[in-house]
Amino acid sequence: MIENFAKNIVILILIIYPPPSSATGGELKLHMSPNETLTINKIYNVTIHIPVFVYSKNDTIESRVYELYRKEGVEYFKNLKLPIAIIGLGDILKGSSFEFFIISKVEEYQGVKKNISIEKKKKVKNEIKKVAYYAKKIINSTEYKKSIQYFKYGEEKFKELDFVYMEDVLGLDVMYYIASNVHMRYPRELYLLCGESINERPTCRDTFTYLDNLK
């Protein structure tokens, strides 16, 4: 495991639900609503759902949460295999989540809120391309493939905490929240978005296809 990258940051990994069936053609358009789901709307009938990072905690079971983390969570994280690409991704995201970074940068690139200069647009596009590059390297890595069994194991191991400590958050992802290691979080976040490969889920496939074709 790559160590010494812990940061005190509170960012959650929420469940990402599958979008409607995919359609071909058209540009992605952004829609942002406060305290609701961020979406990328593709013309015709495709909506890519990306959650807003809001939550509430149930303090009455907090002692049980930390007991599980000390007894089981620490051991779970020791078994994870982390790809080296998490370093490059973390250097660009600077604590943000992959999904939120992409949404905000694509919005900036398209000049949704304000006009953007050609020079700035080129810089933003390069940032988006780099993030997509490192994310794909993580998903395609041997370490990511080996971690999938631990993701599934952890989901079962910590299921007693599903949706009860943090709203809409799986028990395993509560453990990631407590661990507060931003680099360690990236493979798990990408797994929730993509599953075992980029092409497994329409949400993931459409997102990376759009990023690859960004002009």
Higher pLDDT, 67 or 96: 67
Structure tokens at 22: 């995919």
Most confident of 108-122, 150-164, 172-186: 150-164
Q: How far apart are CA 66 and CA 57, in angstroms?
A: 13
Contacts of 51 (CB under 8 A, 6+ apart): 14, 15, 16, 37, 38, 99, 168
Query: How many other CB atoms sit within 10 Å of the CB of residue 169?
Result: 22
pTM higher than 0.75: no
**Rg of the chain's alpha carbons, rounded to an integer?**
17
Q: Which residues pair with 29 in a beta bridge?
A: 41
Q: Do residues 132 and 208 touch, judged by C-beta distance below 8 A?
A: yes
pLDDT above 90 for 127: yes
Tokens matching residue 19:
């979008």
Long-range contacts of 22-27 (CB under 8 A, 24+ apart): 22/46, 22/202, 22/205, 22/206
Residue 177 has pLDDT above 80, yes or no: yes
- Is residue 175 within 8 Å of 169, Cβ to Cβ? no
Q: Determine which helix (DSSP H) or strand (DSSP E) holds 147, and give its type and residue range.
A: helix 142-157
CB atoms within 10 A of CB 15: 13
How many Å apart are CA 199 and CA 183, to the nearest integer? 23
Which of 40-49, 59-68, 150-159, 180-189 comes out lowest in average pLDDT?
40-49
Domain regions of the chain by residue span: 28-212
Q: Which helix (H) or strand (E) holds 156?
A: helix 142-157
- Across all residues in the chain, what is the average pLDDT? 76
